[in-house]
């Protein structure tokens, strides 16, 4: 397999990397990335098998360790992000659970923002203590709380910004400085922003984790995750974990995401434009209590989002005056937008976080992240903005 001419040029801009980065063409010269479905690899000799297994010779040995299609995707993602190394996993949670568990041991202490994706919160709150790792949650917007808890001693910090479900913002640069001073690793879940809108490595993060299921596939087809970090940490900390724990990604799913990445920037920019317009329209409706959109001035973390993100992103949340009853009637009245807890899809999707994605949290824990039963989360897709606006307003008007 020969590298495409210039196939890994470091100087290309992210949009070019998203289309051409990591491309490895076979002897057939295919234009579109090849899909290699194989679990094992034939060696020329027993000696070669020995050298490959010992890591003395480049080459694939088993698809739990690495495979050609996955390798193309890893290189492409690393080049888009500006990271030294990337590994893909079977789902976003496969990536994030590995990103936060592999570096830790009993006796360590983790500090995380209260507003997190439900499963990330579950791992930290319920799983880490089982392994003797102390877990503390802080209000992500409260820098004094971050400083107080990180300074008590801490090995790993996890943040998500914008966070599920109300698009809370965390000042990544400020938390990165605190983590660095304490010798803690900063892991950022950058799913909502995507590398198109936010670059946490440039703000001091050590590890970036993605659910590629969202905007990277972007068309609602497959699950996949990714971990990005420097080459040394990848080979020392994550490679052994990933090999032996086994959250490997299917090459088919990796291939789907490779193709999804080629249109990611266009999609994210277009979906963000529509989301910004819809946020303004919804905020003016009499049935709506409040709208949360990262680049609207009435978002409590507007300043942070404005500084960190190129645009407000593809997600917004709205609170309805009639509580859960109104939220359910609003969702049930939508004709175009689907009711679905996925996000980042070309199809617009809406959900009721309190009773779906965040239902495992008690009312008190939900309240601690500002969530109550009046909120609906909307992931804005690629449909015509006029059609989306008409659908949302028709359902609101019928309440």
Q: Which residues bind ligand PLP (CB under 6 A)?
A: 91-93, 96, 117, 120, 160, 164, 189, 191-192, 211, 213-214, 223, 225
Q: How far is the CB of 315 from ligand PLP (least distance, A)?
A: 9
- Classify 345 in phi/psi space as left (phi over 0), alpha (psi -120 to 50) or beta: beta
Q: With respect to ligand PLP, which residue has the nearer C-beta, 180 or 221?
A: 221
Q: How far is the CB of 122 from ligand PLP (least distance, A)?
A: 11
Q: How far is the CB of 222 from ligand PLP (least distance, A)?
A: 9
Q: Which candidate, 199, 81, 96, places its Cα nearest to that of 156?
A: 96
Bridge partners of 209, per DSSP, are 189, 227
Q: How far is the CB of 96 from ligand PLP (least distance, A)?
A: 6
Q: With respect to ligand PLP, which residue has the nearer C-beta, 357 or 395?
A: 357
Q: With respect to ligand PLP, which residue has the nearer C-beta, 192 or 375?
A: 192
Q: How far is the CB of 344 from ligand PLP (least distance, A)?
A: 8
The CA-based dihedral angle spanning residues 7, 3, 219, 360, taken in that order and rounded to the nearest 10 degrees:
-100
Residues with Cβ within 8 Å of 203's Cβ and at least 6 positions away in sequence, in order, are 172, 173, 176, 308
CA distance 162 to 215: 14
Q: With respect to ligand PLP, which residue has the nearer C-beta, 72 or 222?
A: 222
Q: How far is the CB of 318 from ligand PLP (least distance, A)?
A: 18
Cα within 13 Å of Cα(117), Cβ side: 23
Contact indicator for 313, 270 with CB cutoff of 8 Å: no
Q: With respect to ligand PLP, which residue has the nearer C-beta, 158 or 392?
A: 158
Contact indicator for 295, 272 with CB cutoff of 8 Å: no
Ranked by CB distance to ligand PLP, the top (closest) residue is 92
Structure tokens at 258: 């490779």
CB atoms within 10 A of CB 385: 18
Q: With respect to ligand PLP, which residue has the nearer C-beta, 82 or 220?
A: 220
Q: Which candidate, 224, 246, 278, places its Cα nearest to that of 65?
A: 246
Q: With respect to ligand PLP, which residue has the nearer C-beta, 117 or 137?
A: 117
Q: How far is the CB of 189 from ligand PLP (least distance, A)?
A: 5
Kind plus residue range of the DSSP H or E element containing 70: helix 68-81
Q: With respect to ligand PLP, which residue has the nearer C-beta, 166 or 288?
A: 166
Q: How far is the CB of 218 from ligand PLP (least distance, A)?
A: 13
| Chain centroid, CA 317 distance in Å | 18
Q: How far is CA 318 from CA 9, 282, 297, 301, 347, in A?
A: 43, 8, 15, 16, 18
């Amino acid at each position: 397999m020969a590298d495409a001419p210039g196939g890994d040029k470091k100087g290309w801009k992210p949009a070019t990397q998203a289309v051409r980065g990591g491309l490895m063409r076979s002897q057939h010269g295919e234009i579109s990335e090849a899909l290699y479905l194989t679990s094992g690899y034939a060696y020329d000799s027993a000696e070669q098998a020995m050298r490959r297994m010992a890591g003395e010779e480049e080459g694939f040995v088993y698809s739990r360790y690495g495979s050609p299609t996955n390798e193309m995707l890893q290189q492409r993602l690393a080049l888009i992000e500006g990271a030294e190394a990337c590994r893909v996993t079977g789902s976003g949670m496969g990536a994030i659970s590995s990103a936060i568990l592999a570096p830790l041991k009993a006796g360590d202490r983790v500090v995380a923002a209260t507003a997190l994706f439900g499963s990330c919160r579950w791992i930290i709150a319920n799983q880490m203590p089982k392994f003797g790792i102390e877990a503390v949650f802080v209000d992500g917007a409260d820098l004094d709380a971050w400083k107080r808890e990180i300074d008590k001693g801490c090995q790993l910090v996890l943040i998500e910004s914008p966070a599920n479900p109300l698009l809370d913002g965390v000042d990544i640069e400020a938390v990165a400085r605190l983590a660095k001073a304490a010798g803690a690793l900063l892991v950022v879940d950058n799913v909502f922003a995507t590398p198109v809108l936010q670059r946490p490595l440039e703000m001091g993060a050590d590890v970036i984790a993605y659910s590629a299921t969202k905007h990277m596939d972007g068309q609602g087809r497959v699950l996949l995750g990714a971990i990005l970090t420097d080459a040394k940490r990848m080979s020392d900390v994550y490679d052994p974990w990933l090999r032996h724990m086994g959250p490997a990604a299917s090459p088919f799913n990796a291939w789907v995401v490779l193709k999804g990445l080629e249109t990611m920037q266009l999609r994210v920019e277009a979906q963000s434009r529509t989301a910004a317009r819809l946020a303004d329209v919804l905020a003016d409706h009499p049935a709506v209590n409040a709208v949360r959109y990262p680049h609207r001035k009435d978002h409590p973390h507007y300043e942070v989002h404005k500084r960190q993100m190129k645009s407000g992103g593809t997600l917004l949340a709205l609170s309805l005056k009639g509580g859960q009853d109104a939220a359910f009637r609003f969702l049930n009245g939508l004709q175009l937008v689907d009711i679905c807890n996925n996000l980042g899809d070309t199809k617009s999707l809406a959900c009721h976080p309190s009773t779906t994605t965040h239902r495992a949290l008690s009312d008190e824990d939900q309240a601690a992240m500002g969530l109550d039963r009046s909120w609906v989360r909307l992931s804005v897709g690629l449909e015509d903005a006029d059609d989306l606006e008409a659908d949302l307003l028709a359902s609101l008007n019928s309440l």
